[in-house]
Structure 1
Amino acid sequence: MDFGPKRVQLNIVNKFYKIIIMNKFLALSFVLIQFVGKSQFTNVKLPLPKKASYPYSQVEPSIYINPKNNKEVIAGSVLNDYYFSKDGGENWAAKSIKSKKNGVHGDPCMLIDYKGNYYYFHLSNVKGQTLVGGIVCERSKTIKGRFNKEGHTLVNGKFHDKEWVACNKNNGHIYMTWTQFDVYGSKDPSNRSNIVFSKSEDLGKSWSNPVDISYFDGDCIDDDLTTEGAVPAVGPNGEIYVCWAMGSKLYFNSSLDDGKTWLNKELEIGTQKGGWAIDIPGIYRCNGMPVTVCDISNSENKGTIYVNWADQRNGKENTDIWMKKSKDGGKTWSDDIKVNTDNSKKHQFLTWMTIDQSNGYLYIVYYDRREHEDNKTDVYLSVSKNGGTSFKDYKISTNSFTPNPKMFFGDYTNISVQDGAIRPIWTHLDNSIISLYTALIDQKELD
């Protein structure tokens, strides 16, 4: 969930946060160097914003590299934290953003459009509405995050979760999909969840009325029978693609006319044995929700749609990362492709995927326990240069960590890649202390 477990009271402040919250606003990031095989990766710890007050700050991160300048990188984490770097991620500044009218309530999603505008999308506890009754688009013309004072409220009223966006390179339109709950957590079968879509044609200033794009709705329990995991992708000609999970199945919908019309009924494109809600030892909660991307490069795989997820088809003690692809706009799909190349029968979980649109290479980041007999956890990156036909795995984290099952760990990792600059981002939870890391990786190091 966006801002941490519903069972946790927001006034709880762990003593560890009282210590680390004293980081300076412009404190330099902590740098570590790791050697993995013949590769060398630099891990950078992002500073905690000076005014961060949420006890689970620095979980559920989002990161984005400027498509016009890969030295500029922005990131966000719950509830309302913002980070930026002007040197490719070596050094970071951090701050907490505010929105007096709308409130900032988690699930940050970062974007830099093709005109160089910086966006911070987030859930909002709009006054007079439900707990998370809105989604707000904050836009800044500078990387320092001088966001519009009130933001632009996309929706309000019902409960909203896990909004994500994609930008159309051809016309600059921004597309958003998310899960809408009638009543979050309700066991009443009359209360339903759906996947909805909206778009902006004016740099986030205004948004179209949300459209329900899921024929098959889910329950509101926020479990396997809830519709979740909608991440939009844009095709070479502006096609919009999105996949989500519900009831141990993967569903897909598409629009070929800028979101005006969609398939009358979404396609069932695969199974997710065990469902999207999965149990990982030592993790407060975990999911295998899908991520969708599309190749718009000039590579031989241009137009290919990829969907990435995790499941436990091989047993509850053996979570793996999977992918499948379509080369005909989602009409037909490949068999499932196992991403992690190990045979350890250990857990790989909380995956995210992106594509370098300069060459079509695929990058998938996830947590991994292949080297351990206990709950120690590493971070791995799997890379494919041939459209997902094969992958190579790289351990990218410096230190293993053992998470605390009583502390909220977040629901996802994230990764951004532009012109060979690879910037994954993940939460590190060890000894009940949460921190946020990225790795400075260049594709040349992986060749």
Structure 2
Amino acid sequence: MKLPFLFTFLSIGFFLAQQNVVIHSGTPTEPSIAIHPTNPNILVAGANINNYYYSTNGGLNWTLKSLSSTYGVWGDPALVFDNAGNLFFAHLSNPSSGSWLDRIVVQKSTNGGATYDNGSYVGLNGKQHDKQWLAADSNNNLYMTWTQFDSYGSANPNDKSSILFSKSTNGGTSWSTPIKINQIDGDCVDQDNTVEGAVPAIGPNNEIYVSWAGPAGLVFDRSLDGGNTWLTNDIKIADIPGGWDFSIPGLDRSNGLPITACDISNGPNRGTIYVNWSDQRNGIDNTDIFLSKSIDGGNTWSTPTKVNNDNSGKQQFLTWMAIDQSNGNLYFVFYDRRSYSDNQTDVYLARSTDGGQTFVNIKINQTTFTPNPSIFFGDYTNIAARNGVIHAIWGDRVGGSSRIVTAKILDSNILQTVENVTDQNINFYPNPVDKEAYISYKLHASSLVEINIYDMSGRLVRQVLRENQGYGKYIQKIDVEHLKMKKGNYICELKVDGVLKKSVPFIK
């Protein structure tokens, strides 16, 4: 099949012009951000250990305050609005009258995150509780999943970690007795064989979906009755080669824990469940961001697809994902080193408008930074999207100071930016491809030209061309039929003297 194709793709490394706002300088890490459901000018964020921020003008200005509770505030902020506009701030505990991580605390705000009540808690049972996340359904019920440690950091094989679930049906006033939902326990070392990363997501009919990583790889569970019952056996999504706890040069630690989200928009991918994570299947020096999806309620899962659309062999890490439920568009934020040979780091946004088949990547930070391995950098970034407006938040370190930074991106500007930076001298056609495709380009000097085809996980399928060419215009034929490529999604890349000039997603 041959169809006309209007190509609009962002050149790698281009910066999308928009204002970065530094909302905190100091030592904050692990930010979370949320958008009010009916007033997009109200934004709320949190960061370790007890910092919270709110904006009433769409993120241009922020107010910084410290969160307090008699139950203790000890980091890992997780924020969610319900449909009534109530904000819930979940975090770890360290109470003066209790012990470290002895419960999960949830504090409520009814004024857009300006002030909070003392909170409620769940999980007080003599064990440690960590890495909690929240979701709210259409009836304003709250759901929370997290990791319980028999004894945090213990190497005793008799000490286990498990995934717990609890819910509140009264606006966070109280929580149900936690239940264990995983089948295969982890250890308590807080590394690859510990079960972690349980981020709940809500389906179109208030299904509860969640995935996590651990000794069984990346697995999925669901409840169709408000969390009362769960699958008898967790469903495996994918292996995580090298595990979820891996090393990134210049960081004191890193991980690739999953994020689960579900499309509840009225778009074409309504009901699709997505899981986003990072791992080192392509090598310890080439960490990548991945996505898998299910269109049958989590029974089966797609082969992992690479979200970062470079093939630089560099590091991409600490990802987060959000869905704009007005249209089903997917957005990802992650750290990226594609442009450097050292530990310099940028922040990238990726967007998919076709259910995770193809991705546009754009750089969104204004200041490149280099982490300090002696300073705790945190375990995640965060992102929120609503009605075509995206708010990304991340931590960095500039001028010897750690910072929390936000960026507001309009979806309409992403398309405009992509169109504006397209190199009009390079074209790929047709798309979709039947038997053959062509890439045309112009050289201004003698150069080494490479044309490579990759699958969506970043593996090289075929090198079409690698030769020195002189000044002039060229049209290179790609004989897809002769290459015996299976039907699917691919990427064609053109490099000139080792520099990536164009990366084109195409369909066979």
Q: TM-score, normalised by structure 2?
A: 0.78
Give the C-alpha shift of residue 40 in structure 1.
Answer: 2.0
Structure 1 window deviating more from structure 2 (296-305 vs 113-122): it is 113-122
Give the C-alpha shift of residue 247 in structure 1.
Answer: 2.4
Q: Distance in 1 between matches of 2:315 and 2:300?
A: 29
* Equivalent of 1:275 in 231, 243, 251: 243
Find the counterpart in structure 1 of residue 23 from structure 2: 46
In the TM superposition, 1:428-443 aligns within 5 A as 428-443=396-411
Give the C-alpha shift of residue 154 in structure 1.
Answer: 1.7
2:44–2:113 CA contact under 8 A, matched in 1 = no
Q: Distance in 1 between matches of 2:153 and 2:115?
A: 35
Instruction: Write the letter of the residue equivalent to 2:247.
Output: D
- Kindly provide the CA deviation profile for residues 400-429 of structure 1, in whole angstroms up to 9, marking residues without a partner as x: 101100110001000000111100100011
How many aligned positions are there? 402
Find the counterpart in structure 2 of residue 143 from structure 1: 112
Give the C-alpha shift of residue 257 in structure 1.
Answer: 0.3
1:303–1:327 CA contact under 8 A, matched in 2 = yes
Q: Distance in 2 between matches of 1:61 and 1:135?
A: 17
Find the counterpart in structure 2 of residue 81 from structure 1: 51
Find the counterpart in structure 1 of residue 91 from structure 2: 122
Find the counterpart in structure 2 of residue 65 from structure 1: 35
Q: Distance in 1 between matches of 2:394 and 2:16?
A: 20
1:234–1:241 CA contact under 8 A, matched in 2 = yes
Give the C-alpha shift of residue 352 in structure 1.
Answer: 0.3
In the TM superposition, 1:86-165 aligns within 5 A as 86-99=56-69, 101-148=70-117, 150-156=118-124, 157-165=126-134
Runs of at least 5 residues in structure 1 that lack an aligned partner in the other structure: 1-35, 49-54
Find the counterpart in structure 2 of residue 31 from structure 1: none
SS at match of 2:143: strand
2:52–2:64 CA contact under 8 A, matched in 1 = yes
- Kindly provide the CA deviation profile for residues 241-268 of structure 1, in whole angstroms up to 9, marking residues without a partner as x: 0000012710100000000000012111
Q: Distance in 1 between matches of 2:361 and 2:321?
A: 14
Instruction: Write the letter of the residue equivalent to 1:73.
Output: L
* Equivalent of 1:188 in 153, 156, 181: 156
Q: Distance in 2 between matches of 1:197 and 1:144?
A: 25
SS at match of 1:162: strand
1:407–1:432 CA contact under 8 A, matched in 2 = no
Instruction: Write the letter of the residue equivalent to 1:333.
Output: W
Give the C-alpha shift of residue 187 in structure 1.
Answer: 0.4
1:227–1:246 CA contact under 8 A, matched in 2 = yes
Q: TM-score, normalised by structure 1?
A: 0.88
Give the C-alpha shift of residue 128 in structure 1.
Answer: 4.5
1:355–1:361 CA contact under 8 A, matched in 2 = yes
Relative distance call for 1:407 and 1:247 in structure 2 (3 A) is same
Percent of aligned positions that are identical: 50
* Equivalent of 2:392 in 403, 418, 424: 424
Q: RMSD of the alignment, in Å?
A: 1.2
Give the C-alpha shift of residue 39 in structure 1.
Answer: 3.8
Instruction: Write the letter of the residue equivalent to 2:87.
Output: Y
Q: Distance in 1 between matches of 2:31 and 2:267?
A: 29
* Equivalent of 1:364 in 311, 329, 332: 332
2:354 is aligned with 1:386: yes
Find the counterpart in structure 2 of residue 21 from structure 1: none
Structure 1 window deviating more from structure 2 (282-291 vs 62-71): it is 62-71
1:118–1:145 CA contact under 8 A, matched in 2 = no
Give the C-alpha shift of residue 141 in structure 1.
Answer: 1.0
Instruction: Write the letter of the residue equivalent to 2:76.
Output: D
Q: Distance in 2 between matches of 1:173 and 1:38?
A: 40
1:224–1:248 CA contact under 8 A, matched in 2 = no
2:221 is aligned with 1:244: no
1:423–1:439 CA contact under 8 A, matched in 2 = yes
Q: Distance in 2 between matches of 1:370 and 1:45?
A: 24
Q: For the pair shown, which has the larger CA radius of gyration, 1 or 2?
A: 2
Structure 1 window deviating more from structure 2 (175-184 vs 423-432): it is 423-432
Give the C-alpha shift of residue 238 in structure 1.
Answer: 0.4
2:309 is aligned with 1:332: no
Q: Distance in 2 between matches of 1:47 and 1:430?
A: 12
* Equivalent of 2:271 in 283, 303, 319: 303
SS at match of 1:228: coil
Instruction: Write the letter of the residue equivalent to 2:34.
Output: Y
